[in-house]
Structure 1
Amino acid sequence: MKQRFNTLDLQVALHELSVCFSGCRVTNVYDINNKTYLIKLHKPDSKAIVLIESGIRIHCTDFDWPKNMIPSGFSMKLRKHLRSRRLEKVSQVGVDRIADLQFGSGEAAYHLIVELYDKGNILLTDYEFTIISVLRPRTDENSDVKFTVREKYPFHLAKQNEKLTLEKVKELICDAKQNEDLKKILTFNLSYGAPLIEHCLSIGDFPDKCIIDKNFNRDDDIEKLFNALLLGEKIIEELKTEIHPGFIVTKITKAIKLELEKNKELENEELVT
């Protein structure tokens, strides 16, 4: 079971929210627990609910979630500033796992910023991105930036997209140590996310465990790798412009194989009798 959203999940979910709910007004905000919130929007003849779980996920939902009888202080703050405002814009901050939901426009706008990395966070800011309320006040250890009320949200800390070039790929491979895992190198340095990196390497016909200088040649395989990664760039652009269905995937583990074999034996016995 997927534990939290990766970059691709976020891009797909935000595009769906933008297409389905842009222009809808907020009717109410509820909390399920101290990390999970529901934003109910007005949309004629259909449910329009956005589920936000700090550090984990953000998406539309039709499920009838159990709500807390008494709303939390953070929910009340969101109700005060967001209720009756239109959802004007949904965007990703850089290429980080951060969503920015804009309610209202101009100087009357409010931004709900949802962080889906590490321990996560949800912040409400005004139109100038000054923090009004924050679910988890904290100070960034690396930069001493404060995520607290009356501070500006630090957009400059978010990862920004860098255009993929052959030179960039060559640089990554040249800097790699002998016997390093190619997938780990690419996952750490590119904003694709591990699943898309795996897909690109598979399409490029690289082995599952591709090791630098063992089954990856620094000279001969660079262009092949670059072309495989360009496919990843194309997939990312498609995900930003089209609504895609989700897929349920299962891995056939040893336990599942044994169960399948056992069921097959029982079926054969029944056929014999």
Structure 2
Amino acid sequence: MTTTNTSKITSILKNLKNEKINTWFDLGLFIDKFKEQNLASAFNGNASTFDEHIEKGGIAFLTFYFTIDGITVETEKYAKTFKNIYPDIPIHFIAGEIKEEADELIPKDAFRKVIPEMEAFDAWPLFKDFFQIKMERGSKEYNDLIGKFWTEVLVLVEKLGSYIEENDISLLYLINVCSNPGNVSLALATVLISEYLGIPVINNNHDFYWEGGNRDVEIKKKGLKKGPRDFFFHNAHVGEFFSIIETIYPWESRSWMNVNINKMQQNHLININGHNPANVALLGTAVDTKMHQMSK
């Protein structure tokens, strides 16, 4: 593992702090401008030297938490696969929490990093503000949230970005970070870090917020049944707010590969979200029944 300084993240953070993000419209304009930038890749070689670049820098698996669950079981397989391809690759497991029981699945030689601000859903401080409190344009909740949100994004850019830069990580592998809005601050921070540092991303989507979720107006108009993810659309009526979620879940970029677990998700990204088919892939989930057997 190579350790470097964090001069790039320090500069990035300084520039982000100079952005005047005081309203949801400010943030939307910033993201539009950001998407138009032609940011340089951290890798400038050719296909034959790309493997060396990946193996030297290493891969970081990012998710909300690691425990004994489907996400961690899948991540263990991904880590083994990369080790088979690149025997000397440094592997990092980064999450808001790494539970003790995950020791059975996380490789012994993997580096671990816990960043509490990466926790999600009920453990994310802004989850209620985003998806439970009713927001109206110009309301106190609407005006207060943008400041709290942008502050969190900057904290995560500094903490997560510094770790990535310090360890010269060359590939990010996200699991559900940019498919389910469990922590929107983390999703946006990850987008900013990856693009500014020029690091390629494999964005592995196990499930999306729109699977089992709809806007209230659509439910009433089409007579749809209520779904388990309808709450993600709680404030979808506020366009400048909800467009942030629509833009980063998932992010589309030349350096991002969106990997889905079924064809319905794949088709949705291409046909509805308008993603480039060249950057959308399919990787189903499976369980090694020899290793993971049900107890009798």
TM over 0.5: no
The structure with the largest alpha-carbon Rg is 1
Which has more strand, going by share of residues? Answer: 1
Q: Answer 1 or 2: higher relative contact order, Cα 8 Å, separation at least 6.
A: 2
Which has more helix, going by share of residues? Answer: 2
